[in-house]
């Protein structure tokens, strides 16, 4: 399925959804549904992953790195094209896929932060067609966020990008890296520092990089240790605290629900209502009236 993803942006090959203008960093996600055709691409500074969303298998001819592959791509099939690798594809029927592009510089930075040594020699290996449950799961989570226009916030996207980068390094690097994993959670002092920072900045956009930088550690290790300490991921804790703040303001003030949404870090009345209903089982207006 990867091949379709690679065509040049002709009018019929434009994405139906793209994160291009949603402020996502270190990852570009686009959904395509092109008619039969062919195309080529060459991303000098990005690794490209293509996840098939096709309900019916699509026959593809692919040429990459001097090798040719022909076969059927069905829902869940994944192709990986490392940066600087020219790619050509031809598909015989309507296609549907998700294209994920990750800057090679970001992969290198994650490698530098998480690998003991020799990170500078790491390269990703190409895959014409493979199955990978974790990449598929991350891809579908990114697609869900894409459809919601990033309502989950930057912290969530940052977390998914880091998990995806580490997975690629573990499973598709040219040499097997040794990724150090710290156990035991965050020390109490550091955990309290993070929780206080989140509480004081609920109305602002909080990035994973901001939280990790407070403790001078990598984003991946911070996320891992935070979840060990609290039991949930940083983005889940942030959302939980925003909902708790909203509940407090709904009960204790007469401010409009729109104003409360902004005060709690949501980008609209509807964004707050959607998340509030998921947490409490009722919309903010009903919660206030009770």
Give the side-chain half-sphere CA count within 13 A for 221.
20
CATH of 4-172, one of 3.30.420.40, 2.120.10.30, 2.60.120.10, 3.40.720.10: 2.60.120.10
Q: Which residues contact 73 (CB under 8 A, 6 or more apart)?
A: 1, 2, 3, 52, 54, 57, 58, 59, 60, 79, 97, 129
- The model carries a pTM of 0.78
Residues 4-19 have pLDDT tens digits of 443 333 334 789 999 9
Chain centroid to Cα 134, Å, comes to 12
Do residues 28 and 11 lie in contact, with contact meaning Cβ atoms separated by under 8 Å? no
3-state helix, strand, coil in the chain (%, to 5): 45, 20, 35
User: Cα–Cα distance between 52 and 49 in angstroms, integer?
Assistant: 10
Q: Tell me the pLDDT band of 191, cut-offs 50, 70 and 90.
A: very high
Q: How many CB atoms lie under 10 A from the CB of residue 237?
A: 19
Mean pLDDT calculated for residue range 189-218: 91
In this predicted model, which residue has the larger pLDDT, 4 or 200? 200
Compute CA distances 138 → 26, 123, 182, 195, 266, whole Å. 15, 21, 23, 26, 23
Give me the residue spans of the domains in the chain.
4-172, 186-290
Return phi, psi of residue 216, to 5°.
55, 50
CATH number of 186-290: 1.10.10.60
- Give the H or E element holding residue 137: helix 133-147
Residues 115-160 have pLDDT tens digits of 765 566 678 889 999 999 999 999 999 998 888 865 557 888 999 9
CA R_g for the chain: 21
Give the tokens for residue 266. Answer: 């949501």
Residues 243-283 have pLDDT tens digits of 999 999 999 999 999 999 999 988 888 888 988 888 888 98
User: Cα–Cα distance between 265 and 202 in angstroms, integer?
Assistant: 6
Residues 24-53 have pLDDT tens digits of 889 999 999 999 999 888 899 999 999 999
């Amino acid at each position: 399925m990867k091949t379709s993803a690679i065509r040049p942006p002709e009018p019929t090959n434009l994405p139906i959804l793209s994160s291009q203008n949603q402020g996502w960093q270190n990852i570009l996600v686009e959904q395509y549904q092109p008619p039969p055709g062919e195309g080529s691409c060459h991303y000098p500074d990005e690794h490209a992953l293509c996840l098939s969303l096709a309900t019916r298998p699509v026959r593809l001819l692919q040429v990459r790195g001097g090798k040719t592959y022909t076969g059927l791509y069905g829902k869940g099939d994944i192709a990986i094209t490392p940066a600087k690798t020219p790619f050509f594809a031809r598909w015989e029927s309507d296609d549907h896929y998700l294209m994920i592009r990750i800057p090679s510089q970001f992969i290198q930075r994650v490698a530098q932060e998480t690998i003991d040594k020799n990170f500078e020699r790491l390269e990703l290996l190409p895959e014409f067609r493979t199955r990978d449950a974790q990449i598929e799961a991350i891809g579908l989570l990114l697609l869900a966020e894409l459809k919601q226009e990033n309502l989950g916030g930057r912290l969530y996207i940052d977390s998914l990008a880091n998990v995806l980068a580490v997975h690629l390094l573990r499973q598709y690097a040219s040499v097997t890296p040794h990724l150090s994993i710290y156990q035991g959670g965050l020390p109490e002092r550091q955990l309290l520092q993070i929780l206080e920072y989140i509480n004081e900045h609920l109305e602002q956009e909080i990035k994973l990089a901001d939280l990790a930088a407070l403790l001078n550690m990598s984003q991946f290790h911070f996320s891992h240790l935070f979840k060990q300490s609290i039991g949930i991921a940083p983005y889940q804790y942030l959302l939980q605290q925003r909902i708790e703040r909203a509940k407090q303001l709904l009960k204790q003030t007469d401010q409009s629900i729109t104003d409360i949404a902004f005060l709690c870090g949501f980008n609209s009345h509807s964004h707050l209502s959607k998340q509030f209903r998921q947490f409490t089982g009722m919309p903010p207006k009903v919660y206030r009236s009770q």
